[in-house]
Amino acid sequence: MLVPSSITGFRLAAIVGEQQVEARLDESGLACDTALWDRATAVVAMGDTVTLSRFPLAVADASLTGEPVVVLLTLLRASTSVTSVVVDIR
């Protein structure tokens, strides 16, 4: 089982509308295409939440500055569809 706190970074390829976008979170911070950033900041501004686990239920406020797993889930929520996700774990 992957423990959310063990995620240290990620690379995401997705679609927003009809545009291909990418995001990366690593030791230098979050780098994100503008279309995805704009959509994700709207998700955060609306006060959306992301589900970390179902059993037991654990949710967190959507964020672009929090734990890597929360940032990833926020970007996934903001995407129209996801092409690929690569997760870095420790």
Domain ranges (residues) in the chain: 4-89
3-state secondary structure of 52: strand
pLDDT in tens, 12-34: 999 999 999 999 999 999 999 99
Please list, in sequence order, all residues whose beta carbon lies within 8 angstroms of the beta carbon of residue 63, skipping any fewer than 6 positions away. 44, 70, 71, 74
**pTM for the whole structure:** 0.90
Give the pLDDT score at 2: 46
Q: Which residues of the chain have pLDDT under 50?
A: 1-2
The pLDDT of residue 61: 95
